[in-house]
């Protein structure tokens, strides 16, 4: 072999080596960048889902792009793993050789995440769908909308004269947070829901007749009732008998843990006039710290353990769900595990819960002892473990004392009296059992459902403006300036109508409440207190408060 030939051999092999080196270094650099979180992980669709990815990349690139950025994709979990179904599933259909279902339920997620699914099933979140038989839903379905479709009363240019769907407000309002009862259209014009299907413990329907009634298109795909789907409400009532939707918090199709850790995620539902937890958090020092120190939150961490992965600030998830250094990093999917008061009802109750995770409401001490499976104190201790990462025990205990006092003040001064007045009006027949058909029912609803909750939530999460101005100030104004006068007015009308006994009974309740020391100022006056304040201000500013300092 000549030297010239060897030169070609050396040059060729050297070039091949350098090209392979560049290629390997490119792969290596990419892999390192993915590992350091500087770019999304390289994803290869698993063989079972390769065809899905290829087709849906064209038809729904957003779904595929989201999925590519997910931990699922990185771990080889594709489309089929979550959407696969058996032929007996009511919403299953054959799709290019696979039996798939559109709706992925907690039962499906629980196949790989059984612990999380079980915790979630026991949570108050999973019971969100109970609103379908509650006062709130009456408000949406009847007061705001109409239980039955009705015809439009005049044409709207450009729109057909179709019946008005009176449940639209419930579908797009309440149920998008609380969850719908997923329904399939039936051949008889009705719907098929979990109630009709009676699924067994594996989620398979036991009612063949209901299965046969499901309306399907030419491809055999079941048709959803538009009111119930799409829906990612947290307490969704699924066709397989499971409750909830994991994607309510873990948005599909990237199921980002980072997003679930951020308050904006909870803010889809926990905001607004009746329970503005997100706004309350933002006003609190916790929220201020989070906004400032977001970059130090290590939100990408795999386990995100408080005290190990971060300690810059808390989010909703930090206090209510995430693991921390004092509980070996154990995450809970039951946000109620660390909450010691339920501020949801008109009168707050300690979160002593029974084996079914329901709040124990009986006042009898013996019955309480028997029923309580997890005490409010135990829940508070769990929360204190979180608090203790940044606060001393004295600080935390003192805060809880302030919080307990606040909730008790609201309960005793306004909530229980309000309940008593409303009960008296009902008992005496001065208001109808139908809700929201009388002004005082709106007044009472505003008092406890909006302002009362704002006050209590504001106090629970250290947001003074919500505890006071958006809270107790408005509760007081609503109580003294609306609830009391309206109750008295209803009693006066009853007396004028010859129902003196009933009127007297209501007046007695109102008067006895206002005679209590905490309400005595309202009718008895508080001149001594006013004089004391006036004198103090005169000493401070050199003049009476009527002439404020310039």
Report if residue 20 touches another protein, rule: CB under 8 A: yes
One of 24, 208, 226, 526 touching another protein (CB under 8 A): 24
Phi, psi angle pair for 153, to nearest 5°: -95, -5
Q: Give me the sign of the Cα torsion angle 326, 327, 331, 333.
A: negative
Q: How far is CA 264 from CA 142, 279, 287, 353, in A?
A: 31, 10, 11, 29
Spatial distance between the Cα atoms of 463 and 483, rounded to a whole number of angstroms: 26
Closest CB to another protein among residues 299, 461: 299
Closest CB to another protein among residues 5, 59: 5
Report if residue 148 touches another protein, rule: CB under 8 A: no
Candidates 4-12, 129-137, 198-206, 365-373; binding stretch for another protein (CB under 8 A): 4-12
Report if residue 18 touches another protein, rule: CB under 8 A: yes
Candidates 22-30, 254-262, 449-457, 490-498; binding stretch for another protein (CB under 8 A): 22-30
HEC secondary structure over 269-335: CCCCCCCCHHHHHHHCHHHHHHHHHHHHCCCCCCCCCECCCECCCCCHHHHHCCCECCCCCCCCCCH
DSSP 163: P
Candidates 15-23, 207-215, 222-230, 266-274; binding stretch for another protein (CB under 8 A): 15-23
Take residue 182 and report the two structure tokens written for it.
């997923």
Report if residue 541 touches another protein, rule: CB under 8 A: no
Number of H helices, E strands in the chain: 29, 6
Report if residue 328 touches another protein, rule: CB under 8 A: no
Report if residue 10 touches another protein, rule: CB under 8 A: yes
Report if residue 293 touches another protein, rule: CB under 8 A: no
Closest CB to another protein among residues 10, 147: 10
Report if residue 118 touches another protein, rule: CB under 8 A: no
- Interface with another protein (CB under 8 A), residue total 31
Q: DSSP for 44-88?
A: ---GGGHHHHHHHHHH-HHHHHHHHTSHHHHTT--HHHHHB--TT
Report if residue 516 touches another protein, rule: CB under 8 A: no
Q: Least distance from C-beta 269 to another protein, angstroms?
A: 33
Phi, psi angle pair for 515, to nearest 5°: -80, -10
Q: Least distance from C-beta 121 to another protein, angstroms?
A: 28
Q: Least distance from C-beta 98 to another protein, angstroms?
A: 24
Cβ neighbors of 119 (< 8 A, separation 6 or more) are 332, 333, 334
Upstream peptide bond of 414 is cis (omega within 30 degrees of 0): no
Report if residue 23 touches another protein, rule: CB under 8 A: yes
Rg (CA), the chain: 30
* SS3 state at 43: coil
Give exposure, 351-361, as e/b (b: 16+ Cβ within 10 Å): bbbeeebebbe
Q: Least distance from C-beta 409 to another protein, angstroms?
A: 48
Q: What is the largest CA-CA distance in the chain?
A: 127
Take residue 415 and report the two structure tokens written for it.
């909530």
Candidates 19-27, 265-273, 354-362, 478-486; binding stretch for another protein (CB under 8 A): 19-27
Report if residue 44 touches another protein, rule: CB under 8 A: yes
Mutual orientation of helices 500-514 and 484-496 as an angle, nearest 10°?
Answer: 160
Query: Given its phi and psi angles, is residue 433 left (phi above 0), alpha (psi -120 to 50 degrees) or beta?
Result: alpha
One of 31, 216, 401, 540 touching another protein (CB under 8 A): 31
Report if residue 11 touches another protein, rule: CB under 8 A: yes
Spatial distance between the Cα atoms of 511 and 534, rounded to a whole number of angstroms: 29
Q: Least distance from C-beta 311 to another protein, angstroms?
A: 16
Report if residue 427 touches another protein, rule: CB under 8 A: no
Angle (CA) 49-50-53 rounded to 5° is 85
Report if residue 538 touches another protein, rule: CB under 8 A: no
Report if residue 9 touches another protein, rule: CB under 8 A: yes
One of 1, 161, 363, 366 touching another protein (CB under 8 A): 1
Closest CB to another protein among residues 306, 487: 306
- Residue 325: which of 312, 307, 299, 313 has the closest Cα? 307
Report if residue 36 touches another protein, rule: CB under 8 A: yes
Report if residue 14 touches another protein, rule: CB under 8 A: yes
Closest CB to another protein among residues 75, 543: 75
Candidates 34-42, 143-151, 215-223, 516-524; binding stretch for another protein (CB under 8 A): 34-42
Q: Least distance from C-beta 258 to another protein, angstroms?
A: 15
Binding mask 57-96 for another protein (x = CB under 8 A): ------------------x---------------------
Q: Which long-range contacts (CB under 8 A, 24 or more apart) does 21-26 make?
A: none
| Residue ranges that bind another protein, judged by CB under 8 A | 1-4, 6-7, 9-11, 13-14, 16-18, 20-21, 23-25, 27-29, 31-33, 35-36, 38, 44, 75, 302
């Amino acid at each position: 072999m000549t030297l010239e030939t060897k030169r070609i051999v050396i040059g060729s092999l050297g070039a091949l080596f350098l090209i392979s080196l560049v290629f390997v270094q490119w792969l290596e650099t990419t892999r390192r960048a993915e590992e350091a979180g500087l770019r999304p992980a390289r994803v290869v669709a698993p063989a079972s889902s390769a065809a899905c990815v290829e087709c849906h990349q064209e038809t729904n690139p957003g779904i595929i792009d989201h999925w590519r950025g997910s931990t699922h994709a990185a771990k080889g979990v594709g489309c089929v793993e979550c959407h696969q179904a058996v032929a007996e599933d009511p919403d299953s259909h054959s799709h290019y050789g696979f039996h798939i279902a559109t709706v992925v339920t907690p039962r499906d997620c629980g196949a790989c995440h059984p612990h999380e699914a079980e915790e979630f099933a026991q949570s108050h979140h999973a019971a969100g769908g109970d609103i379908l038989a509650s006062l709130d839903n009456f408000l949406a379905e009847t007061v705001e909308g109409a239980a039955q479709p009705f015809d439009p009363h005049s044409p709207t240019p450009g729109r057909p004269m179709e019946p008005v769907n009176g449940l639209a407000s419930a579908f797009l309002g309440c149920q998008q947070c609380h969850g719908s009862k997923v329904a399939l259209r039936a051949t008889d014009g009705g719907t098929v829901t979990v109630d009709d299907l009676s699924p067994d413990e594996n989620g398979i329907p036991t009612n063949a007749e209901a299965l046969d009634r499901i309306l399907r298109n030419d491809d055999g795909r079941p048709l959803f009732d538009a009111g119930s789907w799409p829906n990612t409400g947290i307490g969704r009532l699924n066709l397989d008998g499971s409750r909830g939707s994991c994607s309510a918090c873990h948005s599909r199709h990237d199921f980002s843990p980072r997003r679930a850790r951020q308050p904006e995620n909870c803010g889809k539902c926990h905001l607004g006039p009746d329970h503005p937890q997100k706004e309350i958090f933002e006003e609190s020092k916790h929220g201020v710290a989070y906004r400032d120190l977001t970059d130090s939150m290590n939100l990408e961490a795999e386990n995100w353990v408080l005290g190990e992965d971060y300690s810059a600030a808390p989010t909703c998830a930090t206090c209510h769900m995430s693991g921390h250094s004092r509980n070996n990093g154990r995450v809970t999917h039951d946000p109620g595990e660390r909450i010691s008061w339920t501020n949801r009802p008109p009168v707050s109750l300690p979160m002593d819960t029974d084996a079914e995770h329901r709040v124990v409401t009986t006042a009898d001490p013996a019955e309480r002892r028997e029923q309580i499976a997890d005490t409010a104190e135990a829940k508070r201790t769990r929360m204190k473990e979180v608090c203790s990462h940044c606060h001393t025990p004295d600080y935390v205990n003192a805060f809880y004392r302030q919080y307990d006092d606040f909730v008790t003040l609201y309960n005793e001064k306004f909530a229980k009296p309000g309940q008593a007045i409303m009960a008296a009006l009902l008992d005496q027949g001065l208001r109808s059992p139908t809700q929201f058909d009388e002004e005082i029912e709106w007044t009472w609803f505003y008092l406890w459902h909006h302002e009362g909750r704002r006050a209590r939530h504001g106090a629970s999460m250290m947001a003074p403006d919500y505890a006071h101005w958006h809270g107790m100030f408005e509760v007081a104004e609503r109580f003294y300036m609306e609830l009391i006068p309206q109750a008295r007015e209803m009693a006066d009308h009853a007396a004028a109508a010859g129902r003196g006994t009933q009127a007297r009974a209501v007046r007695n309740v109102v008067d006895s409440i206002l005679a209590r020391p905490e309400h005595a100022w309202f009718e008895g006056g508080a001149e001594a207190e006013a004089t004391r304040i006036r004198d103090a201000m005169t000493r401070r500013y050199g003049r009476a408060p009527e002439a404020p300092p310039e």
